[in-house]
A and B are shown apart, each in its own frame.
Chain A
Amino acid sequence: MIELKNVERSYKTGHTETWVLRRVGLSIGEGEFVTVMGPSGAGKSSLLNVLDDGWLGEYWFGETPAHKLNRKQRADLARQRIGMVFQSYHLLDDLTVAENIDLPLSYKNLPSKERQGMVADILDRFQIVAKKDLFPSQLSGGQQQLVGIARAVVHAPALLLADEPTGNLHSTQAREIMELFRELNKSGTTIVQVTHSEENARYGKRIVELRDGWVTRDEAVEGSAQ
């Protein structure tokens, strides 16, 4: 599904160029649940968001050569095929739960009726129908992340990228979120998560470890919770 060949990425600070990804080669198949681990500054989030600007190498998304697309085309690709889950949930405070979930759909050319149906389905699936008119500030951290994940998967993306999805959560809430990821993965969604937690990593099938931008480990998870 995803094929990275010699992907490199750097940031320029003044005259200094800092490399955050070095000659990364990675192949992720459809339906996989991959965990990216490593110390802070190893390049985990940069790898997750590599579709942004400022990288070199080849990035194949299925049959699509993302490295040959321009910025707008890459944004379109991300919009159509990828869902994002953030550590800090990043729900919009002045929108209700239902409106937050509808947000990615509003940027697609979908009829309003269809969008409403999709939002209703996902609210039902995540059992948060009763909370649809609440604002994020009225929800607990776990509930906010639940809404964040609902928003990420509402358009049924082929790939779900999660950047430390349980980083701000209590361990019980974190387990619930990881169980949800497992369910999504079982239903066919490919998941790539970045985490520091060994426990969370066991929910995946494979661990990729980064250090100073280099891939230092890429192996299947022993005793996976799956």
Chain B
Amino acid sequence: MVGDVKHQDLKTDIGPAVYRPYLQEKHPTGVQIYARTAGAPETVESAIRQAVHQLDPTLVVDGLRTMQAQVDNSASDNRALAFLAMGFSVLAMLLSAVGLYGVLAYSTEQRTREIGVRLALGAGRWSVVMLVVREMALIAAIATAVALPSVVAVARLFRSELYGVSTFDPVALAGAFFLTALMVLLAAMLPARRAASIEPMQALRTE
């Protein structure tokens, strides 16, 4: 009995396979040998070459590599895609931060009179900062409530493309959440600071 084996690459689905003795092949073109080693695979290269040579001196051993190297090689395209996706994600995040900053800066500008009134009626500068941050936090909370389930759902569609990661990775999701929170905080910082520095009487006079 032979277990399921991925022969081509990591993504191709495992299909039915037939194993035939090598010596029964009329025109053998090549053979792949998998060797399980007791020590580090790199140290047994010469021993393998020697063993094959003893088997048949006409056999040429080429493409000798460790299983890890083979896996890495097989996943290299996916890894490149992953890096590309990561780059786009960073870009998307930066654009979102700039967009959020723009929205909040505009909203704060629109609320200058309100902030002036609040300050004139006794609001502390800190409570004005919180007013702006709260608005941003609300936007972020709504976005997160929509985005998190969507990420989990979309990840399932890409299950066959994934290797070595789960479709639901709490650590990655928590990391993304905290990174987003940090970005939101940074985007809110400048408008909040501007709101806190509004001179109430000036704001009410220039309305």
Contacts and interface: CB of A to CB of B under 8 A. Distances in A.
B113 A52 contact: no
Nearest to A87: B204
A193 interface: no
Nearest to A161: B120
A107 B205 contact: no
A103 B121 contact: yes
Contacts of B204: 86, 88, 90
A45 B201 contact: yes
Interface in A65-96: 72, 75, 78-79, 84, 86, 88, 90, 92
B124 A75 contact: yes
Contacts of B122: 75, 78-79, 104, 107-108
A211 to B, nearest CB: 20
A40 B124 CA distance: 31
Nearest to A88: B207
A159 to B, nearest CB: 14
B132 to A, nearest CB: 16
Contacts of A108: 122
Contact of A72 (B124, B127, B207): B124
Interface string B163-203: 00000000000000000000000000000000000011100
Nearest to B120: A84
Given A79-B122, A108-B122, A92 B117 contact: yes
A108 B122 CA distance: 8
Contacts of A88: 204, 207
Contacts of B124: 72, 75, 107
A72 B46 CA distance: 79
A147 B113 CA distance: 18
Interface residues of B, number: 19
The interface residues of chain B, by DSSP majority, are classed as helix
B135 interface: no
Contacts of B114: 92
Nearest to A108: B122
A204 to B, nearest CB: 22
A206 interface: no
B49 interface: no
B121 A104 contact: yes
A84 B121 contact: yes
A75 B118 CA distance: 12
A49 B116 CA distance: 13
A53 interface: yes
Nearest to A94: B114
Contact of A107 (B116, B127, B200, B207): B127
Contact of A90 (B113, B125, B127): B113
A103 B200 contact: no
B120 A107 contact: no
A104 B200 CA distance: 14
Given A90-B113, A90-B204, A92-B114, 13 more contacts: A45-B201, A52-B200, A52-B201, A53-B199, A72-B124, A75-B119, A75-B122, A78-B122, A79-B121, A103-B117, A104-B122, A107-B121, A107-B123
10 tightest Cβ-Cβ pairs between the two chains A and B: A79-B122, A107-B122, A104-B121, A49-B201, A90-B117, A107-B123, A104-B122, A103-B121, A84-B120, A52-B201
16 contacts: A52-B200, A52-B201, A75-B124, A79-B121, A79-B122, A84-B120, A84-B121, A86-B120, A88-B204, A88-B207, A90-B113, A90-B117, A90-B204, A92-B118, A103-B118, A103-B121
Interface of A: 45, 49, 52-53, 72, 75, 78-79, 84, 86, 88, 90, 92, 103-104, 107-108, 151
